[in-house]
Structure 1
């Protein structure tokens, strides 16, 4: 939303509240959150969530910059090196449902605080550990823990937003995930060439790549404590049947935004939402609660939305974390070839065969860094454009268009013959796929009721991580022998995902009519069971 639009909202609220007194009749949540205004609180919440998303981006993207140095220092084989990537992804898959049920049962904020502070501690252990097994285990727990904020932050951020700008704000937040991937190569360029070696036995070692990881801990600790000062989502409280706590949070938001007293908030009572999964309040054990929520996602009327969102995310992350992780290596191979043969062109298939053994000192040539930065800037622009468009066009148009572009650009990579061609196509691919990834999260927020929303997002992200693991296996098996196989498999998968986006129910941000129908159907389903 534009700042002028925020001003119009606040002016409208001021006119409604002046002299109008309290609203005696119960007010629904969307109207109540609109009456809190849009100001200081929303900007602070957005900033905290932005740092959270940057931390998630750091953890997902750091492998390309630290593992070449780690491979030499720890004397890792190619298989052991692959375990660092796979371990991270397996950890994310294993924790997906855990964070979903905890977020829907205990609150979004509690999960965000715990996972960030715990993940920071694990990263410190991994960065200073001299054991290969220890580093792999730490990467597993990094994946396990970072899956929490990676999935929950969109629910937390979205549930503070007025309906009309919810999808737009979520799309804008995706800029910061891309920004993290832009900051990583710049930070690596500064830190990794430093001559540094310090150790205290085999359990506390500091070298440049370890220092790089320790620096990434700083924003994670900051945001973990920042979430402590922010309130829990009022929509979460309302979904749990606690309208009193929800109203208290809304009053606090109103006071922060407007400068008035909390008691001046015009809403006296909130309309209770019986449509928000009453089973979750009755389950004594968290395992049973998790099972009930998970089961509801695979029964009508939510089943079709579950299959749709998981399939699209699988296809997206199959491309982002398969071909996307291989692109920096492709830049390096182009640079190596042109240094040896400055007047020759080379195909990607020929480059794939030039798999020279890596040296112990990782190379960060200016041309490679520049290419990576250009890719990051392109993705930032695309994310910003998607945030502007999300409030103006049907939400499904963005992932459909971007994944179509991503699939076609992935296919084009096979026919590249120069570094500049690779840069153009890689920038288009990365921008399209990362933008699609963020907007798919917005689609999931819109499709599912709040009571199972966090669980639905976690399930969707789990499907995406499975896609990432599958893609890594495909590239690991075939990239150096038959590179056309992984390239065209990625292109085909992404294009299929783009086709599935056509099936997303029509909507353009805010609360869709289809969602209301779903919620009514969910009430009927659970009432029948009870």
Structure 2
């Protein structure tokens, strides 16, 4: 009996000890990191609302990048544009984005995503209004420069914001959905252009401003950034940013709100009760001190282990936009030249070399010799087809992303784009040229979106938006450089532009070999 009693006591003590350990473990489980907390919110109504908000943001991006490429063929007589002027106009918005890149990244990382989304898109709308009133080439250049300058802050902030509201399970797919919205924007832009630009609109505003159809078209594009700014006003701050700033109670509140909207349950039933302290070493002080401290965000990026990764993503981003935008921003002009060539040659089609020769002959700086063909429905129809192909490519890309992963998907799509760029040179009719344009632009856009997602996952929250600013800055430098080079190459012949774009596309699969595997990895 004595032995039995001792054994029973020992067993009870063991049970008590096990219970105590399990309770301690339960308490430890309540101290959740960001990835655990955001995964616990699920995916539902709240996430769908965020994706709806991303639509006007994506349209804003499409308008900022593509508006002038449709304006240029129509406004070339009013503004007396040369080929070099056209290249500069295509590139000027990206120059503005570059100028604000690092500043907007710092402000976004240290003042919050939501504020930068609202301020950036509101100012973008203001300068778009000024662009719509432009009367000369320098006026339009200046207005679009500042429009791009302001757009960059809102774009960078929203890109980080959307990423930081989703767990690793959904992060890549969500960015692809946003890419689909951007592709949708590439359909909306030519649709809007088709409805406005061919119209014979002319009147004098205030007795001094000459307003044409292209002025009205630019003005119509302010709707997207204004809608984005107004809807974002009602959105909560990024929980990842709140946690990194030491505002865990606020982060818990927004997590609970998202959980309740997604599941239909009460906020009290959210399983996470306490968050880990993810504060950075930089404290939140007065505004001047914040800006001074924000430059410390550069330190981890320019030292190992992130220095190598930063160099890699910057080179990749530069090459992707240099190759993609060289053709993307020029294809409305090339489509217009195809349309004009057919009308001047009794509907007969031809290869790309004849089209480019015709473009060089038609470009002039004298208004007396300049004329614009407004019978150009085929230009907008072909542009819409190209946009629809992009939507289809982004729609099916989610399946291949899960199957292949980020690196392989980017490598395959850019390889196909490179082959299409070379194929455009050998194409003998407008139908084949349009088809190859569609595949080239769509797959390059898909690769760019995939690489952007990889950049967001490589770097930690404390310097994520700053790293994104480096990525976007180098991408836009590539876009500016590509546009200027492309205008020179078009002047010199028809083969070199397509060898240039194809060669850049074929370098991306090589660069992908140096990227880490990020599939289903936690956000740091």
TM-score higher than 0.5: yes
Q: Which residue of 1 aligns with 2:78?
A: 73
Q: 8 Å contact 2:90–2:329 — kept in the other structure?
A: no
C-alpha displacement at 1:84, in angstroms? Answer: 2.7
Q: Which residue of 2 aligns with 1:5?
A: none
Deviations 1:233-289 (A, max 9, x none): 000111122212211211221222233333332221102226xx5247589635543
Equivalent in 118, 121, 137 of residue 116 of structure 1: 121
Q: 8 Å contact 1:24–1:268 — kept in the other structure?
A: no
71 and 290 in structure 1: CA distance in 2 versus 1, 3 angstrom threshold:
farther
List aligned pairs for 1:422-433, cutoff 5 A: 422-433=433-444
Q: Which residue of 1 aligns with 2:515?
A: 504
C-alpha displacement at 1:225, in angstroms? Answer: 0.9
Helix, strand or coil for the counterpart of 1:322? helix
List aligned pairs for 1:283-432, cutoff 5 A: 285-341=289-345, 346-354=350-358, 355-357=360-362, 359-363=370-374, 365-432=376-443
Deviations 1:456-476 (A, max 9, x none): 111101111111111111112
Q: Which residue of 2 aligns with 1:58?
A: 63
Equivalent in 151, 162, 165 of residue 167 of structure 2: 162
Unpaired runs of 5+ residues, structure 1, are 1-20, 520-530
187 and 362 in structure 1: CA distance in 2 versus 1, 3 angstrom threshold:
farther
Q: 8 Å contact 1:172–1:386 — kept in the other structure?
A: no
Q: Which residue of 2 aligns with 1:466?
A: 477
Distance 2:191 2:347 in 1: 29
Distance 1:413 1:291 in 2: 46
Deviates more, 1:198-207 or 1:371-380: 198-207
Distance 1:346 1:280 in 2: 64
C-alpha displacement at 1:357, in angstroms? Answer: 2.5
Distance 1:253 1:485 in 2: 52
202 and 119 in structure 1: CA distance in 2 versus 1, 3 angstrom threshold:
farther
Q: 8 Å contact 1:22–1:267 — kept in the other structure?
A: no
Distance 2:149 2:494 in 1: 31
Deviations 1:407-436 (A, max 9, x none): 121122222221122122111101111111
Distance 2:439 2:268 in 1: 51
Q: Which residue of 2 aligns with 1:271?
A: 276
Structure 2 residue 44 is matched with structure 1 residue 39: yes
243 and 382 in structure 1: CA distance in 2 versus 1, 3 angstrom threshold:
same
Deviations 1:462-509 (A, max 9, x none): 111111111111112121222322321221122112210122111324
Structure 2 residue 504 is matched with structure 1 residue 493: yes
Q: Which residue of 1 aligns with 2:139?
A: 134
Structure 2 residue 166 is matched with structure 1 residue 178: no
TM-score (norm 2): 0.88
290 and 71 in structure 1: CA distance in 2 versus 1, 3 angstrom threshold:
farther
Unpaired runs of 5+ residues, structure 2, are 1-25, 364-369
TM-score (norm 1): 0.87
Q: 8 Å contact 1:97–1:455 — kept in the other structure?
A: yes
C-alpha displacement at 1:207, in angstroms? Answer: 2.7
72 and 417 in structure 1: CA distance in 2 versus 1, 3 angstrom threshold:
same
Distance 1:446 1:426 in 2: 30
Q: 8 Å contact 2:322–2:475 — kept in the other structure?
A: yes
Q: Which residue of 1 aligns with 2:158?
A: 153
C-alpha displacement at 1:205, in angstroms? Answer: 4.9
Distance 2:277 2:475 in 1: 34
Number of residue pairs matched by the alignment: 491
Distance 2:43 2:432 in 1: 44
Deviates more, 1:502-511 or 1:163-172: 502-511
Deviations 1:75-123 (A, max 9, x none): 4455544443332221111111111111101111111100111111111
C-alpha displacement at 1:304, in angstroms? Answer: 1.7
Distance 1:202 1:100 in 2: 42
Distance 1:161 1:370 in 2: 37
